[in-house]
Amino acid sequence: MLIQSTPDTITQIRQMGAVTLYEPAGDQPQRERYQAHSLADCITNVSTPKGSKPLLKTMITTACERNCYYCPFRAGHAKTKRVTISPEKLAQAFDELQRARQVDGMFLSSGIIKGSVTTQDKLIDTVEIVRKRYGYRGYIHLKIMPGAEYDQLYRAMQLADRVSVNLEAPTQERLNALAPKKDFANELLRMLQLAQQIKQQHPQEKLANTVTQFVVGAVGDTDLELLALSERLYRQTGVVRAYYSAFSPVKHTPLENVAATHPLREFRLYQASFLLRDYRWELEDLPFVQNGNLRTDIDPKKAYAELHLRQNPVEIMSASREQLMRVPNIGPRSADAIIRARRTGRISDLAHLRQLGMRAPEQAAPYVLLDGRQPPRQLPLF
C-alpha cells in the first residue's frame, strides 16, 4: 500500500502522465506511447541498460516559457493544464512508489520556467534528494535543459544513469520551423559536446551516458539529414542512442494541421540508425531514394542487399565479419558463429546455417554463396 502523506503529489503525477507520449526513455520506445489516465499509466516498463524496469515518467512542471510549435506544453497553449511539483514533494512521492515496489527507476523532464538554469537546478535538486535523502541507487534518466551550465551538466551526469539532450531537428533551419526559441548550436548541440568533454576530463568517474531525440516529419526534415547528424553524434560525441519520434499533431498548436508522420518511417530510421551505430556502416552505405528518405516498403539492410549483393553475393566461407553483416538476417552473433564454424569445416548448405543458430537462413539465400555455389531458393507459387 502507498503511504497516504502525499496524495496530492501522486494525483499531480498522474495528471502529468501525457509526457510519456513525447519523451521516449527506454530501448523500445514504440511501446511507450499512450495517454495517461491513472497513476499506473505513468509507470512504463522500459528496456534500460540495467534490464527491464518499471519507470516513473514525469515532469517537474508542465508550464513552459518556450514556444515549441509541436508541443502541448508550449507557452500560450491554453488547453494544457499547468501542474508544478516541488523537488521535495516529487522526490518523496517517488520514494513511496519505489518502496511500494511500483517503480524501480525514474525518467524526469520538465517544462522551462524562469530560464533553463533555474529549471535544471530543480531537476538536479530532485535527483539529489532521491539519491541522498532516500538512498535510492537505481536507474534514473534525467533531461538536460537547453543551455544548461557546464557544472549543472556535470552534476546531472554524476547523479543519473542516462541524460538526454533533445536536438529535436537536424539543423538550425529545421529547428526554427519547429522550436523558434531554441538555439541549435549553442543551446543543444553544445550540450552533447560538453558531455563528451566531461567524460574525457573525468575518466575515473562513472558518468551518465547521453542520448538525444528528433521530432520526425513535421517541418520537411529528411532521413538523410537526420541520419547524417546521428552518425556524427555517434562518432564524435559518444551519444549512445538517437530517438526518432514520429510527429503527431496537437490541437491548438501552430502545427495542428500538419499531417502525422507514419510510424513506419520512424521504424526505418531506427533500423538505419542501428546499422550506423552497431554495425559501423557509413552514411553512404544507406540506400536513400531521390527525396532523401529511406524506402519504407523494405528495411534498409535488405534495400542495400538488393542494390549491391544480388548480383555480387557474399561468399560465406571467406567473407570478413563486416561483409557477412551486410547480408540480411546475418547479425553480429550469426557472423561470429559462421567464422568459428568455417575454421573446422565447410558451410555448404542452408541447413548448416540453421544449425549455427540462424533463424530463417533462406532470407539470406539470394545474397550469399555457400562454398562457391548459390543456395537453392524456393520459387514463389504466384
Cα–Cα distance measured from residue 271 to residue 261, given in angstroms and rounded to the nearest whole number:
17
Confidence of residue 21 (pLDDT cuts 50, 70, 90): low
Model pLDDT for residues 51-79, shown as the tens digit of each residue: 888 999 999 998 999 989 998 888 765 56
Is 381 a residue whose pLDDT tops 70? no
Cα–Cα distance measured from residue 138 to residue 284, given in angstroms and rounded to the nearest whole number:
40
pLDDT at 1: 31
Local structure of residue 342 (DSSP, 8 states): H
Between helix 190-201 and helix 150-159 the angle, nearest 10°, is: 60
Is 34 a residue whose pLDDT tops 50? no
Side chain identity at 111, as an amino acid letter? G
DSSP class per residue in 320-331: -HHHHTTSTT--
Q: What is the mean pLDDT of the chain?
A: 89
Is 347 a residue whose pLDDT tops 70? yes
Grid cell listed for 223: 532521413
Adjacency order of strands within the sheet including 209-216 = 43-48, 51-59, 105-109, 139-143, 162-164, 209-216, 241-246
Confidence of residue 32 (pLDDT cuts 50, 70, 90): low
pLDDT at 51: 81
How confident is the model over 288-299, as a mean pLDDT? 96
pLDDT at 18: 52
pTM score, two decimals? 0.89
pLDDT at 2: 36
Cα–Cα distance measured from residue 318 to residue 339, given in angstroms and rounded to the nearest whole number:
9
Is 204 a residue whose pLDDT tops 70? yes
Domains, the chain, with CATH or none: 7-212 (3.20.20.70), 309-369 (1.10.150)
Model pLDDT for residues 353-378, shown as the tens digit of each residue: 999 999 889 999 999 999 899 887 65
Model pLDDT for residues 122-161, shown as the tens digit of each residue: 999 999 999 999 999 999 999 999 999 999 999 999 999 9
